[in-house]
A and B are shown apart, each in its own frame.
Chain A
């Protein structure tokens, strides 16, 4: 450390400012580079025959007619991959007991879910490939299917994997304190509710997309992939296609939304990549919307029986729940399908002081599409359980739910602390957040208004949630369990001959604005105008090794790596400058693209002059002078398993009691993600997340028949939130920087999605309670509301 450090106390030129994203220039001119925009020489297109049933034995697959179609090059069956692909297994050692059988990209003798690939056609166009798919004759013997997760463990149900004794994949129980003792007390109020969460999916507008190309002369596999974690996929393709890791290049350019959908190993993508190796030419596979609904991972399908005990004066004494979730026939590789349940066990009650806690979750196999991690993994369920029970308990003891929250939220000065489930928490601000929230929304006035309107037959409700969000994960998330998933990230910054800098980072961009905040940090910390900063992400060949985008880690981990690299490059520059300028490095600084004297800010030499001297006229420098104008730094969270954020949110809804339709009138969010690097981008993360949460609470659900047939495979039937029905979302911030890093940034990507469902559920129940009814099933469809309202008591 030779030069002065960046001073966070002074207002930054970029850090903390609503700096515009450079990427929008390209995207607003139609110059984005999404996978499907790319055409490679001799590229072929893939389409898949998929299982029409939930469970069946493949008796025969006849490709005679399909092969005759003009333009069809080759057709692959599951058995064609046996010698090419090493099977993969979705388990992690730190999720003790988790089991799942090996998987292959395409079914071989048995299909286990509707939509599972059974054959792959490679043709000169996607349309021709589809023509051929429709001509493949498959003879299937339909087998009894276990589709209902709530009965999947019953003795009568078919066992999906004969090597196991039941359809159980994983089970975990947390038992802290003694809930039974609490229930025995006669001075406690106990509330119990069943919560039901529908199966959701991410619906990124750009479907899953991949182009794989293989060059046998160099044993080189290049994969253009619309996804979040290039290095993770590099490792997977290397390991399971038997190609050295160095010979696998994974590139993610522009990605049309991901939300956790594009971070898993999908059979169709894997098959396309394997076929590129087999055929030694580029293969493109773009999932269509029908395939997206059927095969993109689903999430959130949980049924939870929850219970809370509070004292007369409103202290939470115990939380208990049992959860069951169905994950499809396999645990997804490599992140596993047990993480959501595990998160629910870990997170429920996390914002509060909960002296006694007992929770159990069972993760079961079933013959449906697989479930796995989708934006805000587990959070929407955990927050809805706890804060739903909080509002029930408050109503039961006739206390305002905000008061009850304030009584039980962990005090802002009580950190570091550990939750009932054992999570280490630090630097949170629940009380500041909820106080700011009620002030921002004018809670008392709104309550009065609702009461008045109720007398006029207008049924409005206010719902709250206080929440925590897992961000900036350490290796404790996956690495400890044996997964080759990096939790550290790296950044390399290089000074160019023109005086600009080039940042390459292992975190990735799917529209969040990652590239923009990395540029802001680099520009401010190093000391150049942001126009002089170029950012590269999403390419295993040109970026440092790292995890990519997941668990809200771009700013906190990727940003910190850029901060460290920028300081390191600055040190290099100032060391060289000090020699050139006969000065001491500590007396110099970099400002606006120039090396300046500290204090006076007088320009001494421009960065371009300095770089040109080093690059072209090295003879002017001492022979022992190090010439590096490039620095790489990596960062991981070391002090904590995760860096939590907190938020308080509120929804204001109106329930049309005649139709059951819920309108969201307003939404407020107060969020503490530590240091805010770009308030505009953070607000947009919150807003987008909130709307995704509202979608899950009111509209979205993958509906299956009892036989395991997905019934809604179009955007006309799977309802996503659209502009006309969405409210204005008011966002405010508390900034409590994390002590785990210099920058102090935590993540902000998932809070909205994690908290909004609970706020909506609670708001609806706030409107329902005066009518003597409640409902804790999402999505809260008009039909479900009408069912609930049947028992309503309209005075």
Chain B
């Protein structure tokens, strides 16, 4: 039994091996140990959605996952999102609709939006609203975010 452990993760295509304290959350490991500060800490209890990111193709709350649990996984943070495809379309659409103000919820919001489109989510504003209802945004009032996702969904998701 130990309170440290060595892990290897692939973050945005880079492979990292580190020995870390087992109590460290994934978000703190990404930010403090690897310098991927694009994902944000909002509540550290899994409610605000700011730290939502993609692990092996699924969204997770990186404040509710130990870094050691990410051993052997492939992680995509906002820094690793492509400028084309679904992620690229969403980024473009977010900029056009001003679907972000302070930008703090944006990494988590984009992760949820990508998940929605990739799962075949259609251009239905109520469904989009429900899907992103685990991501808190204090600035926008959500409408611009919903419209940004909607316009990508409307164009067939890609």
Contacts and interface: CB of A to CB of B under 8 A. Distances in A.
A687 B146 CA distance: 13
A29 B79 contact: yes
Interface residues of B, number: 55
B135 A257 contact: no
Given A206-B42, A684-B101, A714-B43, A726 B79 contact: no
A289 B42 contact: yes
Interface string B30-59: 011000111111111101101000000000
A479 interface: no
A24 interface: yes
A726 B47 contact: no
Interface string A1-31: 0000000000000000000110111111111
A29 B94 CA distance: 12
B104 A257 contact: yes
B100 A512 contact: no
B85 to A, nearest CB: 14
A151 B115 CA distance: 52
Nearest to A259: B138
Contacts of A59: none
B140 A687 contact: yes
Contacts, number: 170
Interface string A164-208: 000000000000000000000000000000000000001111110
A21 B37 contact: no
A21 B139 CA distance: 15
B47 A716 contact: yes
Nearest to A728: B143
Given A24-B98, A30-B79, A720-B136, A691 B40 contact: no
Contacts of B96: 20
Contacts of A286: 41
Nearest to B133: A724
A43 to B, nearest CB: 11
Interface stretch (A32-40, A114-122, A426-434, A557-565): A32-40
Interface in B111-152: 126, 128-130, 132-146
Interface string A509-530: 0111100000000000000000
Interface in A256-290: 256-257, 259, 286, 288-289
B138 A27 contact: no
Given A24-B95, A513-B98, A688-B140, A206 B104 contact: yes
Interface string B66-110: 000000000001110100000000010011101011111111001
Contacts of A204: 102, 104, 138
Contact of A680 (B44, B91, B98, B137): B98
Contacts of A24: 94-95, 98, 100, 103
A729 B105 contact: no
Contacts of B91: 28-29
21 contacts: A20-B98, A24-B94, A27-B103, A28-B100, A29-B78, A29-B91, A30-B38, A34-B104, A205-B42, A256-B40, A257-B104, A257-B139, A259-B138, A289-B48, A510-B102, A511-B103, A687-B144, A723-B132, A724-B130, A724-B133, A726-B141
Q: Lowest 6 CB-CB distances: which A-B pairs, in order? A: A30-B38, A511-B102, A27-B103, A256-B104, A511-B101, A691-B141
Given A34-B37, A205-B138, A254-B102, 18 more contacts: A20-B96, A26-B103, A28-B110, A29-B81, A29-B91, A30-B107, A31-B38, A34-B40, A39-B32, A205-B105, A510-B102, A687-B141, A688-B138, A690-B141, A692-B138, A722-B136, A723-B137, A729-B143
